[in-house]
Amino acid sequence: MPAFHLVDAFTARPFAGNPAGVVVLDAGPVDATWAGLVAAEVRASETAFVHPEGETWRLRWWTPTAEVALCGHATLATAHVLFTAGLADPDAPCRFATRSGELRTVRRPGEDGEVIAMDLPAWPLASQLEPPELPAALGGAPGRYLGRTDGDQPNHVAEVATADALDALEPDLDAVRALGATGLIVTAPGDGDVDLVSRYFAPNVGVDEDPVTGSAHATLGPLWAGRLGRRQLVADQRSARGGRLHLDVGDDRVEVAGQAVTVVEGRLLAAT
């Protein structure tokens, strides 16, 4: 029976950050129908399915309702599981073959304990006219439209003036659905020791608000690095659970780093 783990990503303490299911299979391919049923049962924002494939690992992710092309927090969770279970060399990069190309993760010491750094493709913004549903999607809060990402997993991006305004945001999820993309990223300048803050809403894939979204920072990293004139940034996602991400922005890649903690270990008794 496949091993199952529930991991809180982008946090060093249980019951914070973003929970991800991680299913470790002895071999592939993954049965997509079964994976979708498992993800719907787990009800985390994403569940990862991983199996060895040559010298790499094949990695796919499902929300409770759909497969997605990239998920940062579930990649972090998967690397955490493989490293801690002794399935991957802790002193070498762990490489994943995915729909978004090869992803690499490494373990590094951090100020608050070990961190895992992921190398993700940058998803820059494309210029686009503001969709008419945006004011309603923001719940009537003042904000400005920044554009939309391209690719298999497009997101609209908007900005509000302050972190307090972001915290107070009450989006209209029906209007977010009507935007017609995977989700809506809302960002604001950071406060204190944080460079940027964000929230992410993706009801079209069964996630009303994602607690912490690594892949969103493949867009937010380049955006704020350009504004602030430096490549190393600290980001907070201001959901109820919350999480912190450390970013290092390159020309076409973004390193997203954080911590993770396992809260459940077991086995799936309903296998394929």
Active site residues: 46
Residue 52 CB coordination number (10 Å): 16
Residue 108, both tokens? 């590094």
User: Shortest CA distance to 268 belongs to which of 89, 26, 38?
Assistant: 38
- How many CB atoms are located within 10 Å of the residue 82 CB? 21
- With vertex at residue 126, the alpha carbon angle to CA 122 and CA 130, rounded to the nearest 5 degrees, is 135
Round to whole Å and give the CA distance between 171 and 227: 26
203 CB contacts (<8 Å, ≥6 apart)?
173, 176, 177, 183
Q: CA 135 to CA 249: how far, in whole Å? A: 30
CB atoms within 10 A of CB 81: 25
| Paired strand residues for 106 | 117
